[in-house]
Amino acid sequence: MSIALLAAALVPSTRRAVLRGAGTMLVAADPLQPADVGVIPEFGEGNELEIADLYRQRLFPRVLLLERAQTPVDREYIRRGVYRDDLVVTTLRQLGIPETAIEHVDAGEGGTTESTQALAGWIRTHPARAIVVVIPSHTRRFRRALRRVWPANAPAPIVTPPRYNAFHADDWWTSRRTVREGLVELEKLALDYLQHPW
């Protein structure tokens, strides 16, 4: 898929349309509606800002943080008595979300598979409607993975990207940082479709 995109990008007349189409393939945004929880499955540029804005709009009363398990480095810091602030929690508190409204959910290694399974598992035991904030380039693939494991009796998850993020479907190829991000996600999305065509 990436090779075809690069080939198309060499033809000036089609370049912008093809690359914009590729960006649109990556970015998914479900219509927002009131929910029971807002979810951050990963640390990402703008995720905390978006969750805080939606919380202030009263779209949900609490926030779930899907957190990766401690690494050997994390454990070594703890062993040495080094305390490092949880950057996401600190940021959310400063953005107006009280710590009492934040719940932590273990997401194993924190990848897409582990995060979607952890959230679906939490929903099974706490039936709820969830708004999940995911970085734009990852929204389509994350939503596909989440829907595959989502409990049948639960309201469908609402996946939305943060507004404050450098990745935009109509110009992602204009920055070295976002072009790399976009190409990697396009490859991963293509693999996801190959493995799960439905």
CATH, residue 153: 3.40.50.620
> What is the pLDDT, as a whole number, of residue 69?
86
Shared-domain flag, residues 67 and 77:
yes
> What is the pLDDT, as a whole number, of residue 1?
55
Shared-domain flag, residues 79 and 98:
yes
Answer whether residue 11 shows pLDDT above 70: no
Shared-domain flag, residues 175 and 161:
no
Burial 118-129 (b: 16+ CB within 10 A, else e): bbbebbeeeebb
Host domain of residue 193: 1-27+167-198
Shared-domain flag, residues 67 and 156:
yes
Answer whether residue 3 shows pLDDT above 70: no
Shared-domain flag, residues 190 and 149:
no
Shared-domain flag, residues 2 and 56:
no
Answer whether residue 59 shows pLDDT above 70: yes
How does pLDDT run across 124-183, given as a tens digit for each residue? 999 999 999 999 999 999 999 999 999 999 999 999 999 999 999 999 999 998 999 999
Split into its structural domains, the chain has a count of: 2
CA distance to 64, 79, 182, per residue, from 103 (Å): 5, 25, 31
How does pLDDT run across 62-101, given as a tens digit for each residue? 999 999 888 899 889 999 999 888 888 999 999 999 999 9
DSSP 133: E
Shared-domain flag, residues 173 and 185:
yes
Task: Provide the terminal-to-terminal Cα distance of the chain, rounded to the nearest Å.
Answer: 18
Answer whether residue 6 shows pLDDT above 70: no
